[in-house]
A and B are shown apart, each in its own frame.
Chain A
């Protein structure tokens, strides 16, 4: 049964009060935000997800699709260090027509900016959420996209290939496509092979000229630069089979956190580049244990978060109801890089999460 607005509001207030009791300072954010920052961060995808509207004076504006960006922006301008913030308000998301999900709902969130002990901060947020949501008996999943990123950075391959993989770390299909090609498991596309053949005898300038009238802003120099990159890439040796196998193994790792840690520690002996990330994972598990979380049963997936809006770059978590048709009841994660992007030269490690009071109220209704 759908709870009443009043029931949702009072659930939201209860969670908000709990966040304040946990030491967070309440913050407000505008509902109508300039679209530019969000478009810059998420690209065209945001138009499919958020409501974008036009103002003759302010240009494109977006109805707040989440709080993280405005809260981070506010913190970067005049925040304390460390800082804990909480907020409560509506967010607006366009939904897939096939699923009849709400396109306007309340979010209650908690964000923690702390540069001293990030893993302790991860554990603090997760334990707080777990405690507040405990009566609902939700399924939790945790992950750490930072381990995958460290693995990619540590590959013995060209920087360009690493950059390409990192750029698509949130897009599983394209990531695997690239990985397959770099590992020599997928052939070079036919047109690419033909181009490389022609480039063996002709200059890119000659080929561009031969293609006819030149149109467009992308210059011949840019085109030539990319052909040079393609030649360089074709000459790069395939990723070592052992490295590729380890990376596939990492991508598919799903296990209880403590078991996953043991597995990752054994991978790290063959792939030393992930050692620091695995150490952070170990530290986080210890911090979680210290806060009463049973890490022997806590589910973990290396690749979790691979499908969400792309700003998480470390610890991630989700709380799901037994009813799989429902969106996550709560979710969150670490987004250190985002603070750098929005901070104009400054950055601070940050972790946060949101709870949907409408879903909590709904589940409570069906529990009692």
Chain B
């Protein structure tokens, strides 16, 4: 049985269904409205697994699903050695978003990581703690800042409404996913000019851990 993990709700699910149906695989949800179950029409050998996009990387890593749709950001954040665990089968052409670092518009003196670093030093001296960057992408952000040799900062966890943390005084800056930048603007934040950490999009991943004799045939059918 080939298991395909697909985001369980919203536009991401609909667009994923569209993408597969254009390639001859008609997926649909089954059961009651709120029940997370689905099926693929006329394909007995395929099981549809509906789950949160954030859980797809881990399921691929454990080999509990063979294929999975999720964002580049989530795979790289959750799987430290992602390239040994999954392969990218195809970009799906949607879900484009950038993981970026943003600071208040009012920080007229800060435009680059270099500025952030030096403002961070002064901030620590003035407040007695390191400048806080709110994010849920701890690994990616830390690696990025380490590679760019930014020193005086700390990451604080924010699992949602991250743009609001600055106004709520629980962080001085944020690192989050943005597509149009509207939420950033609405919360009086601007992106650092060299603060792009990762360009993300929805991708069909294949687990290197799970295998099924029929998997190659299926991928050939949807032309990969």
Q: Is the CB of B117 within 8 A of A97?
A: no
Q: Is the CB of B108 within 8 A of A208?
A: yes
* Nearest chain B residue, comparing its CB with the CB of A207: B108
Interface check A240, CB cutoff 8 A: no
**A residues less than 8 Å from B167 (CB atoms):** 215-216
Q: Is the CB of B172 within 8 A of A218?
A: yes
What is the minimal beta-carbon distance from B93 to any residue of chain A, in angstroms?
30
Interface residues in A, total, Cβ within 8 A:
37
Interface check A225, CB cutoff 8 A: yes
> Looking at chain B's contact residues, is the secondary structure mostly helix, strand, loop, or mixed?
mixed
**B residues less than 8 Å from A226 (CB atoms):** 109, 118-119, 122
Q: A255 to B25, alpha carbons, bound, how many Å?
A: 66
Q: Is the CB of B118 within 8 A of A164?
A: yes
What is the minimal beta-carbon distance from A48 to any residue of chain B, in angstroms?
5
Q: Is the CB of A44 within 8 A of B145?
A: yes
Instruction: Of the listed stretches B26-34, B47-55, B99-107, B195-203, name the one at the interface; the rest are far from the partner chain.
Output: B99-107
Q: Is the CB of B106 within 8 A of A189?
A: no
Q: Is the CB of A44 within 8 A of B149?
A: no
Which chain B residues in 132-165 approach chain A with CB under 8 Å? 138-139, 142-143, 145-146, 148-149, 151-155
Q: 1/0 contact trace for B165-177 toward A, CB 8 Å?
A: 0110100100000
Interface check B112, CB cutoff 8 A: yes
Q: 1/0 contact trace for B108-120 toward A, CB 8 Å?
A: 1101101101110
Interface check B193, CB cutoff 8 A: yes
Instruction: Of the listed stretches B15-23, B63-71, B123-131, B207-215, name the one at the interface; the rest are far from the partner chain.
Output: B123-131
**A residues less than 8 Å from B145 (CB atoms):** 44
Given known contacts A211-B105, A223-B108, what 5 new A-B pairs fall within 8 Å (CB)? A43-B130, A192-B111, A195-B109, A215-B188, A216-B104
B interface residues, Cβ below 8 angstroms from A: 80-81, 84, 104-109, 111-112, 114-115, 117-119, 121-123, 126-127, 130-131, 138-139, 142-143, 145-146, 148-149, 151-155, 166-167, 169, 172, 187-189, 193
A interface residues, Cβ below 8 angstroms from B: 39, 43-45, 47-48, 97-98, 164, 167-168, 171, 173-174, 177, 189, 191-192, 195, 204, 207-208, 211-218, 220, 222-223, 225-227, 230
Chain A to chain B contacts (Cβ below 8 Å), 28 pairs: A43-B130, A43-B153, A44-B145, A44-B153, A48-B139, A48-B142, A48-B143, A48-B146, A97-B81, A168-B149, A168-B151, A171-B151, A173-B149, A191-B111, A204-B109, A211-B105, A212-B105, A212-B106, A212-B188, A213-B105, A213-B188, A214-B106, A215-B104, A216-B106, A220-B106, A222-B119, A223-B106, A223-B109
